[in-house]
Amino acid sequence: MGYALAAAALEAGHDVTLISGPTALAAPRFGMFVRVSTSDEMYDAVHRHVRDCDVLLMCAAVSDYKPKVFASQKIEKHDGEFSLWLRPTRDILASLPNDDRAYFVVGFAAQTHDVETHARRKLLAKNCDVIVANDVSGSDSGMETDDNEVTIFSRDLEPHPISRAPKMVIARDILKIVFDMRQKSLTKKT
């Protein structure tokens, strides 16, 4: 979805910085591309580039947990149980500054149940302007597919569903709605 959003924004004539973790997808031919490998690198890259953006689309969260200890070599198989200790990763979206923020923040919520409840909670808890939520409990939409189906939530407006379609179509619709909402928020401030 992130690559589709970057492509749609480039197609619409916007400057784009795509910060991406490991993926099999090809990097966009235009715009700035920042490749990261770890959650800490993602955190640093977002904080480094956020000051220069008008709209921040945080469409794919890094894993919520990472190994507490990293092995420098392969851990050999042995008899018996094996425990892997995990610790939380830093929450990039929640870490963004809230005071006098000049950019519009769009978070994403991939949920398996109670989509609206979790999306609205995340909208407020992470201080987003908009949350784009999708139900990833099925295998036909969301992650690892070419299609998606989302609902856009904001603080002031009714939910705006976008029906199942290819991710590029969804991306164009999301951007149109987000840029319209951003423009209206700028008008309110003046």
Q: Is 94 helix (H, G, I), strand (E, B) or coil?
A: helix
Give the structural domain span for 18: 2-64+83-189
DSSP state of 50: G
Q: What is the reported pLDDT for 139? A: 66
- Residue 142's pLDDT is 54
- The pLDDT value given to residue 50: 93
List the CATH number of the domain containing 41: 3.40.50.10300
pLDDT tens track, the chain, 190 positions: 899 999 999 999 999 999 999 888 888 788 899 999 999 999 999 999 998 899 999 987 788 898 899 888 998 998 999 888 999 999 999 999 887 788 999 999 988 899 889 999 999 999 999 999 988 887 665 566 788 899 999 988 899 999 999 999 999 999 999 999 998 877 776 5
Grouping H, G, I as helix, E, B as strand and the rest as coil, residue 127 is coil
d(CA 170, CA 1): 9
In a domain, 171, yes or no: yes
Is 136 within the bounds of a domain? Answer: yes
Q: Does residue 72 belong to any structural domain of this protein?
A: no
Cα 67 from Cα 101, distance rounded (Å): 33
Q: In this structure, is residue 73 part of a structural domain? A: no
**Is 78 within a domain?**
no
Instruction: Please indicate, yes or no, if residue 75 is contained in any of the structural domains.
Output: no
Number of domains into which the chain is organized: 1
Phi then psi for 72, rounded to 5 degrees?
A: -85, -15
Contact 132, 107 (CB under 8 A): yes
Amino acid 143: pLDDT: 61
Instruction: Tell whether 126 is covered by a domain.
Output: yes
Looking at residue 141, what is its pLDDT?
55
